[in-house]
Amino acid sequence: MEKKHLRFLSLAFFLFGIFFLLNSKTDITGAAVGVSNISSGLSSILGIVFIFISAILFVAGKTLEKLVKEEDVRKEYVREECKGFCPLFDKKKYVKKYVIGDKEHFLGHITGTNPSDENKKSRCNLYDTITENNIEEIFQTPLDRKYGKNIKGAKAIVYIAYDKNDDKNIYVVFLTEATDTHHRHAAAAVAVMKDAEFFVNNPPELTKFLKKAKALYDGDDKKCGDLLTKCAGFELQYDTVKGKIVGIQQDSWLTKHQKALSEDVEESMILALLSNIDEKYLIGGIKNLDVEYLNKLYSGRRRV
């Protein structure tokens, strides 16, 4: 409930309380104002109860106001610490301006920086699922030279949250810009988006976490710490003629700089990735997890 609603209810209960207290006096003095069919004793009790409820609502409103201010301070702190890649907070305004196809699965956006030219930046929308409403936006990068005509590419990351009580725990994100925006950019942004709140009541740990996220975004693998063990990057290829995703490989800066993930962790990530793609866009070999395709999905198996 919003603060203004609590204030309105508090005022309403207070006025009702005053009314019933005055009504109890009416019965005693015999004045004409009041509710004649309610006894003086009951009217007094109702008046006290309503005023008591009003006081509780007033205190709750003040507490909510304090929590909102603290939340704003925390968001501003996270925003400042992660300037340049912090996930979107004012989502409604951005969605109205930049998201045309699939508002339901839109998560936010990040800014990608070209490694060869830092002045060259690209806006990259993030989606949690591939659907018919966003598949063309996600697969924009031509891969004619590498994979042949009609093949377009995209990137995806999978992130395992620190918060084990999180019902979802594993998050999948598909990028819409694959030239200047790297897997590590999206991984860092999603880490902040999903886990900053987990550390928010422990400022020292929050600061450590945000520094690791910044290091991940910047590509400093020496300072990423355990964040590198909590994410994986995938490359996807889409045949625009067949209307099918014909290839997925675990291959990224993340893959090259992280220690091999356990097979159980990789399996959970891969299943999460595939479950967030409308299966009508998956080629049979990927959908059925044929060995030929499966080995490309597991970076650990390829290394062995």
Residue 185 pLDDT greater than 50, yes or no: yes
115 and 217 in a common domain:
yes
- Count CB neighbours of 108 within 10 A: 19
Say yes or no: 91 and 113 in one domain: yes
Q: Is the pLDDT of residue 116 over 90?
A: no
Range with lowest mean pLDDT among 53-67, 79-93, 202-216, 267-281: 79-93
Residues 7 and 132 in one domain: no
Same domain as 71, residue 103: no
| pLDDT value at 174 more than 80 | yes
Do residue 17 and residue 122 come from a single domain?
no
- The C-alpha atoms of residue 113 and residue 123 are separated, in whole angstroms, by 9
Q: Are residues 97 and 236 in the same domain?
A: yes
pLDDT in tens, 54-100: 777 666 665 655 555 556 656 666 666 666 565 544 555 555 555 65
pLDDT (0 to 100) of residue 282: 95
How many angstroms separate the CA atoms of 163 and 126, rounded? Answer: 21
pLDDT at 302: 53
Q: Structural domain of residue 51, as residue ranges?
A: 3-78
Of residues 24 and 90, the one with the higher pLDDT is: 24
Q: What is the pLDDT of residue 136?
A: 92
Residues 116 and 48 in one domain: no
pLDDT digits (tens, 9 = 90+) for 150-170: 999 999 999 999 877 766 789
Exposed, middle or buried: residue 45 (CB in 10 Å: 0-12, 13-18, 19+)?
A: middle
Residue 252 and residue 132 share a domain: yes
Q: Answer for the pair 42, 26: CB distance below 8 angstroms, yes or no.
A: no
- The residue among 210 and 240 whose pLDDT is bigger is 240
**What's the pLDDT at 105?**
78
| Domain end among 78, 99, 121 | 78
Question: What percentage of the chain exceeds 70 in pLDDT?
Answer: 69
Instruction: Please report the pLDDT score of residue 202 as a whole number.
Output: 80
Q: pLDDT value at position 143? A: 92
What is the spatial distance between Cα 217 and Cα 15, in angstroms, rounded to a whole number?
Answer: 56
3-state secondary structure of 68: helix
Co-location of 71 and 108 in the same domain: no
3-state secondary structure (DSSP) of residue 96 = helix
- Helix, strand, coil tally for the chain in percent (to 5): 50, 15, 30
Mean pLDDT of 256-272: 86
Please give the pLDDT value at position 85: 60
| Higher local confidence (pLDDT), 74 or 287 | 287
Q: What is the pLDDT of residue 278?
A: 94
Half-sphere exposure of 147 (CA within 13 A, CB side): 17
Domain count, the chain: 2
The mean pLDDT value of the chain amounts to 78
What stretches of the chain show up as alpha helix (H) in DSSP?
3-29, 40-81, 91-98, 135-138, 144-147, 183-195, 203-218, 253-257, 263-275, 284-287, 291-297, 299-303
| Predicted pLDDT at 32 | 45
